[in-house]
Structure 1
């Protein structure tokens, strides 16, 4: 794990992980991880490599998945690779068909694949595809995947883990309309479906992560020096949720931001347009 600054140590306290409990919980089970070829998904797969578990890894980059399979199977886990762009219906249906053929079904689904996009509305006027593509990967695909997986998860009394973002619980911010709409849509769907899933024996966990140092944040220059959680830290949180079965995992400080989002929304909506106008004038002058 990369070295945390003082601020990051305060914001992201260390997470204890009981590897024995994790191993006992997952032994002999099948775990599906989407977005598995990089970032959090990749780190999570390697953290589970020493367990007698069947990992089904889904991502677009098959070469990376095959390299992971080779490395992970040198330990205890078995790996199945599913190359697919989950925005593509044909490829997504191939994954669903593969999952239906698993002899013991699914035990855990980690919905981790996602797309981030930071673009002002004025730059999106002729880019409607920004919204459809983001909605497809962040909302449509995971809903379709889970609808297909629910019967097997019900039979095995399994678990669904949604790797979400703190932004889904906070006031929306400019330039992130496509991303926030899609992530909030799936978060709302999942929380709405959770009581029904719990009633049939499927555990549900929503993990609200802050900014994480993954390749996905690299294009956003503003994040270069912002406090960010290490991918190893995020993966440990996911691993821990597999045996604690907590319904929600949030940063300790998120409550205060949620409260501020409610109490000071009017102030935010008043001041932010002013700040954006001033920034626009400044950019024109330069």
Structure 2
């Protein structure tokens, strides 16, 4: 168990990772991890360091990727650093070309790269780019990546692992429209595509995560002291899914949130509305 508070221990109970099973499952395989330079992607790379595996680490920050690679290659894993911003058409094209040239093929894609924005709509009126950039990295990039590599994954009876959010399954909340819309879009795409992918022999897993203590949450001051899951715990969940092929992971308490989102939708919307009205300045320029 990570260095959790008592509340976090209750909220974020993890599966028991059978490290030997994970190592056996990954033997000789190639794993692509996006968003690999920090947080969940970084911890997953470290977790897999003792496996006989080829890790392809993708992120914008090349220096961080190379530091991670130095540590990983002290173990059994081989790592290839591929610095790329997946929103950049040329860099995405270069990554896809590289993946299709891999002599050993591709076995697992961990779709982890993402962008979060917390901003009220009235502060976004002249910021359409908030929505285009979140959709670019949280939705269009993973769709483009997977559309290209589905034949590679089908050939190897591979596995797609999507790092998602509990917000995709709950009542949407204010100030997170750009983030929630983009994450929900890809979640819906993958759930729709999953039966077709499964028929090709490709397994799919989605992790619906609560708050995770990564650099992504730092800009939101309220989150710095809020209960949050460790990225090490999430890495272990991903490692578990690699041999269990479990379709979804959700916090045990999420079902109550989902029931509440349906049963108490009207009262919740009423409370949210009046809370926002109380915070609303008399003149906000709209």
State the TM bucket, normalised to the shorter chain.
over 0.9
Shift in Å, 1:53? 0.2
After superposition, the C-alpha distances for 1:92-119 in whole angstroms (9 at most, x for unaligned) are 1110010000001110000000000000
After superposition, the C-alpha distances for 1:179-231 in whole angstroms (9 at most, x for unaligned) are 00000000000000000000110000011111000000000011121110011
Q: Counterparts of 1:226 and 1:281 in 2: how far apart (Å)?
A: 27
After superposition, the C-alpha distances for 1:43-95 in whole angstroms (9 at most, x for unaligned) are 00000000000000000000111111121111100011110011111111110
1:82 aligned counterpart, secondary structure: strand
Matches within 5 A, 1:97-108: 97-108=97-108
Shift in Å, 1:174? 0.2
Instruction: Please list every run of at least 4 consecutive aligned residues from structure 1 whose deviation after the TM superposition is greater than 6 angstroms.
Output: none
Matches within 5 A, 1:237-248: 237-248=237-248
2:280 aligned counterpart, secondary structure: helix
2:83 corresponds to? 83
Q: Counterparts of 1:283 and 1:239 in 2: how far apart (Å)?
A: 51
| TM-score (norm: length of structure 2) | 0.97
Q: Counterparts of 1:46 and 1:187 in 2: how far apart (Å)?
A: 26
After superposition, the C-alpha distances for 1:7-30 in whole angstroms (9 at most, x for unaligned) are 101001143111110011000000
2:186 corresponds to? 186
Q: Counterparts of 2:282 and 2:44 in 1: how far apart (Å)?
A: 43
Q: Counterparts of 1:216 and 1:162 in 2: how far apart (Å)?
A: 17
1:201 corresponds to? 201
Unaligned runs of 5+ in 1: none
Q: Counterparts of 2:231 and 2:283 in 1: how far apart (Å)?
A: 35
Whether contact under 8 Å (2:214, 2:231) holds in the other structure is yes
Farther off after superposition, 6-15 or 232-241:
6-15
Unaligned runs of 5+ in 2: none
Matches within 5 A, 1:48-127: 48-127=48-127
1:142 aligns with 2:142: yes
Q: Counterparts of 1:159 and 1:172 in 2: how far apart (Å)?
A: 29
> What root-mean-square deviation, in Å, do the aligned CA atoms of Structure 1 and Structure 2 show?
1.3
Whether contact under 8 Å (2:14, 2:237) holds in the other structure is no
Q: Counterparts of 2:267 and 2:144 in 1: how far apart (Å)?
A: 38
Q: Counterparts of 2:5 and 2:41 in 1: how far apart (Å)?
A: 24
1:26 corresponds to? 26
1:36 corresponds to? 36
1:277 aligns with 2:277: yes
- How many residues matched? 284
1:207 aligned counterpart, secondary structure: strand
